[in-house]
């Protein structure tokens, strides 16, 4: 059994949002996305993959389809395959998001 500590997967980058991979199989992957203030994951579409965002720390503006909502700790959302989605850290604090994508692109 591979046991991890989420604290080990929370590295940030001043250049852009940092993706820290935790688990990956041929069927899915799980990352922690770390956003400094003002950083974003621009809107994009996965034709065949569903994505789940779960906020670990901070607040961010999450867009799925035509909707935008601010989510905070212990809140999450689903971006179904084919829906445009993205995240923006609109605050002056850090944002950490646990992300699951399946199937693995």
Domain ranges of the chain: 37-99
Instruction: Please state, in angstroms and rounded to a whole number, the distance separating the CA atoms of residues 97 and 56.
Output: 5
Share of the chain above pLDDT 70, in %: 100
For residue 35, what is the enclosing H or E element?
strand 29-35
Instruction: Please state, in angstroms and rounded to a whole number, the distance separating the CA atoms of residues 47 and 58.
Output: 29
Entry pTM = 0.95
Looking at residue 50, its pLDDT comes to 97
Q: What is the pLDDT of residues 40-90, one digit of tens each?
A: 999 999 989 999 999 999 999 999 999 999 999 999 999 999 999 999 999
Contacts of 45 (CB under 8 A, 6+ apart): 82, 83, 84, 85
Task: Please state, in angstroms and as integers, the Cα–Cα distance from residue 18 to each residue in 15, 29, 80, 89, following that order.
Answer: 9, 15, 22, 12
The class (CATH top level) of 37-99 is mainly beta
**How is the beta sheet containing 95-102 ordered, strand by strand?**
18-24, 29-35, 95-102, 50-57, 76-79
Looking at residue 29, its pLDDT comes to 95
- Kindly report the average pLDDT of the chain as a whole number: 96
């Amino acid at each position: 059994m591979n046991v991890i500590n989420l604290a080990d997967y929370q590295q940030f980058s001043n250049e852009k949002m940092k993706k820290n991979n935790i688990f990956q199989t041929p069927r899915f992957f799980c990352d922690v996305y770390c956003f400094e203030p003002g950083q974003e994951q621009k809107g994009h579409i996965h034709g065949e993959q569903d994505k789940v965002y779960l906020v670990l720390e901070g607040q961010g503006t999450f867009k799925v389809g035509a909707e935008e909502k601010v989510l905070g700790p212990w809140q999450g959302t689903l971006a179904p395959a084919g829906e445009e989605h993205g995240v923006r850290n609109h605050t002056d604090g850090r944002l950490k998001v646990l992300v699951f994508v399946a199937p693995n692109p």
